[in-house]
Chains A and B, each alone.
Chain A
């Protein structure tokens, strides 16, 4: 039996899901957040007592709820993407709708969380901890809101049958943006809610 020369064996093609431009945007977003995360960690190391006191007023249960809601939302987006690749429009729309509902759960928890902290008398300018807490979480929440809008627009396009198994680039771009929002929260959750000085 003759063996095929290694040079002739075709390697699996490595493909980046979604648009290249979206990935540049994702990279820029990750860089900005990385800077904020590092600044938070350095400031926490400089003022451990201030951060310890501040974190006592931040509910770990709220952070946990936020994380579970965003992870679920990401799962439903994958569910929708898999359904779309099989041409199942109703199942795709169901996945997107559940992803948006999960994001709404995140927003509800976040609004209760902010209300609680504001009622305690703390705000953006109270001290360094609250500055970072509000700056990081509110900036992230803006990304969630933008992501929800993207999911909604993807839903409209799916309903119009604009996508199919060979034409999913736009859908993949939106999905990757949404997963990036989730990835950022995966870092934010331990940093702000779980790890106390």
Chain B
């Protein structure tokens, strides 16, 4: 698959995941499970953005790790605030 096509498909994936998240959240009240699900989808979207759009897939591990950890760490803290 060409690089152009793979980036186009990833963009479409991000758009679809965003729309699904919004529709899902509109339909259900925010239980801890839903919060975790929505934030998990956000983690997937962030990974696509960091690795494929920013081009950090082949970057030094420290930088890639920092950027990839950003959304999961915040997502975990936000989920915890729904528990307490």
Min CB distance A82 to B, Å, is 6
* Residue numbers in B under 8 Å from A37 (CB-CB): 74, 78
Q: Select A71's contact among B18, B42, B55, B66, beta carbons within 8 Å.
A: B18
Q: Select B46's contact among A77, A79, A175, A183, beta carbons within 8 Å.
A: A183
Tell whether A162 is near chain B: CB-to-CB under 8 Å.
no
Distance in angstroms between the alpha carbons of A175 and B74 in the assembled complex: 24
Number of A-B contacts (CB under 8 A): 121
The reply to whether B81 and A34 contact each other, CB–CB distance below 8 Å, is no
Stretch from A10-18, A123-131, A142-150 at the B interface: A10-18
Find the A residue at minimum CB distance from B84: A45
Find the A residue at minimum CB distance from B54: A179
The reply to whether A34 and B70 contact each other, CB–CB distance below 8 Å, is yes
Min CB distance B67 to A, Å, is 8
Q: Are A186 and B42 CB-contacts (below 8 A) given A34-B70, A75-B11?
A: yes
Name 14 interchain pairs, CB-CB below 8 A, sorted by A: A15-B60, A34-B70, A60-B25, A61-B22, A64-B18, A71-B14, A71-B15, A77-B53, A183-B46, A183-B71, A186-B42, A186-B46, A190-B21, A193-B22
Residues of A within 8 A of B (CB): 12, 14-17, 23, 27, 30, 34, 37-38, 41-42, 44-45, 60-61, 63-64, 67-68, 71-72, 74-75, 77-79, 82, 172, 175-176, 179-180, 182-183, 186-187, 189-191, 193-197
A sample of 4 more A-B contacts (CB under 8 A), given A190-B39, A194-B38, is A41-B77, A179-B53, A180-B54, A187-B75
Residues of B within 8 A of A (CB): 3-4, 7-8, 11, 14-15, 18-19, 21-22, 25-26, 29-30, 34-35, 38-39, 42, 45-46, 49-50, 52-56, 58-61, 63, 66-67, 70-71, 73-75, 77-78, 81-82, 84
